[in-house]
Structure 1
Amino acid sequence: MLAVMASSFAQHAPVRLGVVGLTHSHVHWILGSPKSDAYQIVGIMEPNTDLAERYAKQYKFSMDMVYPTMDAMIKATSPHAVTAFGTIFEHLEVVETCAPKGIHVMVEKPLAVNLEHAKKMEALAKKHKIHLITNYETTWYPTMQKSYDLLKNKAVGDVRKVIIRDGHKGPVRINLEPEFLSWLIDPIQNGAGALTDFGCYGANLITWFMDGKKPISVTAVTQQMQKENNPLVDDDATIILTYENSNAILQPSWNWPIGRKDLEIYGTLGAIYADNSSNLRVRKSEGYDRYKEEKLELKPLDQPYNDPFHYFSAIINNEISIQPSDLSSLENNMVVMEILDAAKRSAKSKKTVVLR
């Protein structure tokens, strides 16, 4: 059933949410969410009637909620905010339409299709004083929050190397819905292939770990291992980021045999392994190659930090505040866009790109 869950946290009337687009399969997240006191879906914009009818049947919502354009949906439903589940290229249009009306926007990762679009979106958000946040699945992983806390408490000493791996077998091989697949492997609508689709996760997390600092340099190599499935875009990338006393290696790929979103943090005293959303290991160094290991199985984060829609609603209602280096923040995600832009330029030129 369509959205919104019982929340002791919410102290305000439910935030009126509009859903813009249904072609991104992450839209199942909000359509399949239980009811909430924090937010309410008031309208859906989707010009593809067949797609909208399919989801209406699946999630038991009325087609009376569906509108062919953003303007029609906004005029009829007066949303406080919208969530964008269309192509990455369309994120700019969503902000161009909503920001002047004072409507807050949450987009699926990455923030924009390229740095040029991102800068326009940033300017509009600041001019019209709206919240513009980016949603990543890993933001709501308790292991990522625990890794951050351990890092800031120097549990493994000073950080020296971070390795972040994200991806799956590839959009074709995991049988993505055709409406999503058609634009995910398009360089115009998605910006690139695995480099943007999964490279943004690592760029987002390392920017958080580094308190919003940009890397000194970016070096990237891309490959195309499934030309038959992804003829126009990369499907594997390795991105090396250098910082003053550390470095990060991002490994986004559509060629992993098993889907993954995990990371390793190496400090001067030990290592942190976030194996998935709930399992984490901490190793403390002992001698040359020995270590003492602690294994943790973590519980879900507390509301509103356990999912994007309660988080977005809490920000809009001023129940929580977002900090510049936070995973969802505009500031963090502008750095992400600089990293992705530099990675694309590095892969194309086969040279390291220095960020100024």
Structure 2
Amino acid sequence: MKYFFIPLFLCIIFFYKTEGATRSQNGPVRIGIIGLTHTHVHWIFNSANKGEIEIVGIVEPDEQLAMRYAEQYKFPMGKLYKTIADMLQHENPEGVTAFGTIAEHLKVVEVCAPRGIHVMVEKPLAIDMQQARKMQALAIKHNIHLLVNYETSWYPTVQKAKTLLASDSIGSLVQLIIRDGHRGPKNIGVNSEFLNWLTDPRQNGGGAIMDFGCYGANIATWILNGKRPQAVTAVTQQLQKENNPLVDDESTIILTYDNCKVTIQASWNWPIGRKDMEVYGRKGVIYADNRNNLRVRIAKGYDGYDETAAVLEEMDAPHDDPFTFFAAVIRKKMSIPDYDLSSLENSLLVQEILDAARLSAETGKTIPLK
């Protein structure tokens, strides 16, 4: 009899484990949130309403901050944890998203990667290349996806601009101008928890040059299919010393390639918030004015042109939302091309560009990329 009951018992266990695994694969992807100090976290709470992800646990040691979010988004305080390890042990997420300081990204990967848990961090990847390389090594060793979320990755105009360029609609690329920013964190009224680290170079790596310079470097790397710039030149300023005493709030980064140039204007001094770019070819120019408005001008004569304009609809899921995209990657419903906007390869080159830009601004010299 004992030889009958033991296999039966094992079969029952196997049945329930298999059934549980199937339910997990068919249901929403279990996601943990690590940190609430980055206000982009509102995005994932709203995204959860789509049903592709389930927020199973939240790590935030600041209880008052957590209570504010709990009240707004109606999540139970029982889902709140003070450490990453506790949340992982009790909630068993498939992936986590990091919404703390940039300096904390490395710790998130150090704790999650050995457990096989996939990670998405808010831009940029890290505060410097040394941290970025450690994160890369952990992701490779433990075979996890490590993605980076840039808001502009989900703009239909950004995607369309590359498609048009690739179709030779404006000729070969000559220069790319990318502008991102706003009036500055304090002037737009970000909460104190966010402001405290956003203007601290030890936690953010810099000011506007990091906060918004990463967008331009990300898009340029993607449009140029991972091509490395030959050199990086940058200038930074403090135009609001009273608001940003420790970091830059104005930056211009120039990337030189063998056949084109990229200019990145990252600023906390724009009177109107913006995320736009201009793509110049030999025959015309593409203006991605914002998320949905796109214009194309084809040169005519000396200074004339024919212009067409379009208001683009949102992209199809999962390319319209970072967290449904993350869920699709975790469930192996899609793969990420090399140097894609969210890819680790792209953000490693972004980090290298940002490190060179900061060094260029500090030394007043152009920094060649070896």
* Interval of TM-score (by shorter of Structure 1 and Structure 2): over 0.9
CA distance in 2, matches of 1:12, 1:280: 38
Tell me, yes or no, if structure 1 residue 137 matches structure 2 residue 151: yes
Could you tell me how far apart the structure 1 residues matched to 2:164 and 2:136 are? 32
Deviations 1:287-310 (A, max 9, x none): 111100010100001000000000
Letter of the structure 2 residue corresponding to residue 254 of structure 1: W
CA RMSD of aligned residues (A): 1.0
Q: Does structure 2 retain, via aligned residues, the 8 Å contact 1:12–1:317?
A: no
* Equivalence map 1:1-356=2 (5 Å): 12-356=26-370
SS for the counterpart of 2:228 is coil
Give the SS at the match of 2:139: helix
Amino acid of the structure 2 residue aligned with 1:280: L
Moved over 3 A (4+): none
The answer (yes or no) to whether the contact 1:12–1:38 under 8 Å persists in 2 is: no
SS at match of 1:252: strand
* CA shift for structure 1 position 325: 1.3
State the SS of the aligned residue for 1:333: helix
Show structure 2 runs of 5+ residues with no match: 1-23
- Count matched residues: 347
**Alpha-carbon deviations, 1:201-255, whole Å to 9, x = none?**
0000000000011111000000000000000000000000001110000000000
- Equivalent residue letter for 1:96: E
1:191/1:331 Cα in 2 relative to 1: closer, same or farther (>3 Å)? same
Contact 2:296 2:308 in 1 (8 A): yes
Q: For residue 342 of structure 2, give the secondary structure of its aligned residue in structure 1.
A: coil
Once residues 300 and 138 of structure 2 are traced to their aligned partners in structure 1, the CA distance between those partners, rounded to angstroms, is 52
Separation in structure 2 between the aligned mates of residue 156 and residue 325 of structure 1, nearest angstrom:
23
Structure 1 position 34, deviation (Å)? 4.9
Give the whole-Å Cα distance in 2 for the aligned partners of 1:32 and 1:66: 18
Q: Is the 8 A contact 1:164 1:251 kept in 2?
A: yes
SS of corresponding position for 2:332: coil
Q: Per the alignment, in what secondary structure is the counterpart of residue 325 of structure 2?
A: helix
For 1:15 and 1:212, the matched residues in 2 are separated by: 30
Instruction: Give 1:36 deviation, angstroms.
Output: 3.2
Alpha carbons 2:52, 2:327 under 8 Å: kept: yes
Match of 2:16 in 1: none
- SS for the counterpart of 2:103 is coil
Shift of 1:38: 1.8
| CA contact 2:48–2:54 (8 Å) conserved in 1 | no
Residue 7 of structure 1: aligned partner: none
CA distance in 1, matches of 2:220, 2:41: 26
Q: Secondary structure at the match of 1:346?
A: helix
How far off its partner does 1:39 sit?
1.3
Q: Report the alpha carbon displacement of residue 11 of structure 1 after superposing the two structures with TM.
A: 7.7
Return the alpha-carbon distance in structure 2 between the equivalents of residues 225 and 70 of structure 1.
38
CA displacement at 1:35 relative to structure 2: 2.2
Q: Partner letter of residue 110 of structure 1?
A: P
Kindly indicate whether the alpha-carbon contact (under 8 Å) linking 2:32 and 2:57 is maintained by their aligned counterparts in 1. Answer: yes
The C-alpha deviation readout for 1:53-99, integer Å capped at 9, x for no partner, is 01100111110110000001000000010000000000000000000
Partner of 2:12: none
Deviations 1:234-280 (A, max 9, x none): 00000000011100000000000000000001000000000000000
2:14 is matched with: none
CA contact (8 A) 2:48 2:55 kept: no
CA distance in 2, matches of 1:245, 1:46: 47
Measure the CA separation in 1 of the matches of 2:354 and 2:47: 31
SS in 1 for 2:102: coil
> CA 1:13–1:34 in 2, change beyond 3 Å: closer, same or farther?
closer
Q: What do residues 111-169 of structure 1 show as CA deviations (whole Å, max 9, x unaligned)?
A: 11111100100010011110000001100100000001011111100000000000000
CA–CA distance in 1 between the matches of 2:51 and 2:184?
37
SS at match of 1:98: helix
